[in-house]
Structure 1
Amino acid sequence: MSLHLPSRRVVRSATALISPQSSLSFLTPCIQTRLFWGRAGERGDIDARSKPQNPLTEEYLKRKPKQQALVRGDLAESSIFEDEEIAGPKPKVEVDKQGAQKKLVRNPDAMAAAIDPDPRSRERWERKMVIKGIHKRGRLTRTQQLKREERVILSKSHDFKTSVKKLMPLARQIAGKTVEEAIIQMRFSKKQVAKDVKEHLEHARNEAIVKRGMGLGLKNDSFTPVKIQTKDGKRVKVEDPTTLYVDQAWCGKGLFGRSPDHRARGNIHIMKNRTTSLSLVLREEKTRIRQHNEREQKAEKKKLWVQLPNRPITAQRQYYSW
């Protein structure tokens, strides 16, 4: 019968038995602890290291300020999550001289984990952006300028109980139309999923108005209606440049369920109940006006094609090449 014992503990035990003034600490059970970054050592060693042996260390630990305790916040009176049995008693409410209730001040140290999780990376990014702005002397790129002048929103729906094959024709039908016209098209469509597409169009329109401030109309009547040509070749009359239209519409596959399909002779097949999501990109009409003007300017700058261009004749010979 062999005893499994680490060699370093055997040496330490032998040294402890030989020395006359040795303690019997080697006889106490020793358990190793393993942390996320590696082995922390033996528990007896951790307890020994935790006790300061230096008077300077003891003095430093006494002077070291204690960490502030986190202050528990409070819920509103009309909150649906209010439950005293689960949350426990409320903290004491302080009252001003005028009898008004004092609001609890949030602790920035407790919020830093969510608001600023990686301060070093944030400082490096800010420094990089400052250097980039100095090099460019404050000049914006074309993409940044368009993001400042024109608004856009991407809205993705939940998964509809249909397939991509059935939803894609509706996505092609509403692409390029104004939101109001697309809603009317889905309202009178015979497709079953058209009802879900109509609801998502209304949700995307409301989201664009609330989040981006799009489609609010002009404050003055300085804009004159113009007729433009879209990239598909259709002629459109624009009366309000803030009108919302569907710039892009595409579908994406979602999760699917399985259900049995009972067939002849006792056979059972598995049917896939597919789901599909619809993504919409909404823009304002002034984006299409800009694109129309850019296409016209490009066409004007284009040189006229001629069958025999006027170019100098070179490499002439006085004899045939064959």
Structure 2
Amino acid sequence: MNLNLPSQRLFRPAASINSSKPSHNFLIPCNQRRTLFWFGKKNQPEAKAVAPKNTLTEEFLRKKPITAPPVRGDLASSSIFGDEMLAGPKPIGPAGAPDALRELPRNTDAMRAALDPRPESRKRWLRKMVIRTVAKRGRMTKKQFLKTQERELLSKSHDFSTSVKKLNPLARQIAGKTVEEAIIQMRFSTKKAAKDVLEHLEYAKNEAIVKRGMGLGGSGKKIQQALRIQTKDGKRVNVESPTTIYVDQAWVGRGLYGSTPDYRARGKVSMMTNPTTSLSVVLKEEATRIRLHQEREEKIKNRKVWVQLPNRPITAQRQHYSW
């Protein structure tokens, strides 16, 4: 029978073995430690590892103020705007204070450069229009009168890296819809060019608001309840505000072609043509569609009823046949 015992246990004194109360310390588990001369043992239990203390974390937790529970609608504790709420609004100092301590007014020259880039050309055009008005004694055509009453904007985009065949369906998709609905359609569209169309619609909307004042709701009669009108393509839409911006027309235009080398087999190189296409949209307000709907309904209402035999006196008739 073999007994697997540590070698240091074999050289125990015989007195301890022959004693009436033999020691069973060799059966007790212990931690061994190898020294230079022999094996040593350590009967003490192994100490648990203690994580080192982080003084920075303790100091941060000690200095961190005790905040109240979050309120609905308030900023979260991790919000990047928390410092601004604690600091409050910027102080408005005197005119001699540095720019960092006082709030500068808006630069009207920069705004005028964006809204009125060519003032001399605008003055010449206004002078020409005044001369034409005086010559016509203030009479305006119907088209000119509608221009003074209704606002519109024509916006053309830069050239997209796509073809007319791929961009034309997107132009037909947004035509006749409001700008907000067209933006939603392009946001969830799977077409690659829909992202470019979405960016141009947002730009055209901002341009219409800034340059023409469209979509602000300041002018025009307010509608008490939503109107259901018929568009020129026969669709029925609900109009809640006459100042809502919609896409009246949308078309595409062919741009310049680019070229990219196409490396083929046996060292041959072909040149691929990359088409570009631009998108143009005309934005108008719902007041225009309401007027067109009313004119269409009035025209149908005033239409005379067709009869096969109208009730009129018979003239230039002979009593007998002429043959």
1:219 is displaced (CA, Å) by: 7.9
1:218 touches 1:240 (CA, 8 Å); kept in 2?
no
Which secondary structure state, in structure 1, belongs to the residue aligned with residue 301 of structure 2?
helix
1:138 is displaced (CA, Å) by: 2.2
Does residue 244 in structure 1 map to residue 245 in structure 2? yes
Separation in 2 of the partners of 1:304 and 1:274? Answer: 54
Shift of the 320–167 alpha-carbon distance from structure 1 to 2, 3 Å rule, reads same
**Equivalent residue, structure 2, for 1:57:** none
Separation in 2 of the partners of 1:259 and 1:145? Answer: 51
**Equivalent residue, structure 2, for 1:300:** 301
**Equivalent residue, structure 1, for 2:259:** 258
**Equivalent residue, structure 1, for 2:5:** none
1:227 touches 1:236 (CA, 8 Å); kept in 2?
yes
**Equivalent residue, structure 2, for 1:137:** 137
Separation in 2 of the partners of 1:221 and 1:127? Answer: 32
Q: Name the % identity.
A: 66
1:158 touches 1:278 (CA, 8 Å); kept in 2?
yes
Shift of the 259–311 alpha-carbon distance from structure 1 to 2, 3 Å rule, reads farther
Separation in 2 of the partners of 1:218 and 1:127? Answer: 30
Which secondary structure state, in structure 1, belongs to the residue aligned with residue 158 of structure 2?
coil
Deviation string 1:99-156 (CA, Å, 9 cap, x unpaired) is xxxxxxxxxxxxxxx9769x9xx69x948843x4345432332222211111101111
Does residue 207 in structure 1 map to residue 224 in structure 2? no
Shift of the 280–128 alpha-carbon distance from structure 1 to 2, 3 Å rule, reads closer
Structure 2 length as normaliser, TM-score? 0.57
**Equivalent residue, structure 2, for 1:187:** 187
2:254 touches 2:277 (CA, 8 Å); kept in 1?
yes
**Equivalent residue, structure 2, for 1:228:** 229
Unaligned runs of 5+ in 2: 1-95, 97-117
2:221 touches 2:242 (CA, 8 Å); kept in 1?
no
Structure-to-structure mapping, 1:49-198, within 5 angstroms: 126=127, 129-130=130-131, 132-198=132-198
Shift of the 116–239 alpha-carbon distance from structure 1 to 2, 3 Å rule, reads closer
1:152 touches 1:282 (CA, 8 Å); kept in 2?
yes
Separation in 2 of the partners of 1:187 and 1:139? Answer: 46
Separation in 1 of the partners of 2:184 and 2:314? Answer: 63
Shift of the 128–273 alpha-carbon distance from structure 1 to 2, 3 Å rule, reads closer
Separation in 2 of the partners of 1:162 and 1:189? Answer: 16
2:164 touches 2:277 (CA, 8 Å); kept in 1?
yes
Shift of the 304–219 alpha-carbon distance from structure 1 to 2, 3 Å rule, reads closer
Which secondary structure state, in structure 1, belongs to the residue aligned with residue 229 of structure 2?
strand
Which secondary structure state, in structure 2, belongs to the residue aligned with residue 255 of structure 1?
coil
Which secondary structure state, in structure 2, belongs to the residue aligned with residue 137 of structure 1?
coil
1:318 is displaced (CA, Å) by: 3.7
Separation in 1 of the partners of 2:246 and 2:220? Answer: 21
Separation in 1 of the partners of 2:195 and 2:149? Answer: 34
Please, what is the CA RMSD of the aligned residues?
Answer: 3.0
Which secondary structure state, in structure 2, belongs to the residue aligned with residue 186 of structure 1?
helix
Which secondary structure state, in structure 2, belongs to the residue aligned with residue 162 of structure 1?
coil
Which secondary structure state, in structure 2, belongs to the residue aligned with residue 148 of structure 1?
helix
Shift of the 260–321 alpha-carbon distance from structure 1 to 2, 3 Å rule, reads farther
Shift of the 133–203 alpha-carbon distance from structure 1 to 2, 3 Å rule, reads closer
Structure 1 length as normaliser, TM-score? 0.57
2:220 touches 2:242 (CA, 8 Å); kept in 1?
no
**Equivalent residue, structure 1, for 2:108:** none
Separation in 1 of the partners of 2:318 and 2:220? Answer: 72
1:307 is displaced (CA, Å) by: 2.4
Does residue 290 in structure 1 map to residue 305 in structure 2? no
Separation in 1 of the partners of 2:128 and 2:183? Answer: 47
Deviation string 1:14-38 (CA, Å, 9 cap, x unpaired) is xxxxxxxxxxxxxxxxxxxxxxxxx
Structure-to-structure mapping, 1:13-52, within 5 angstroms: none
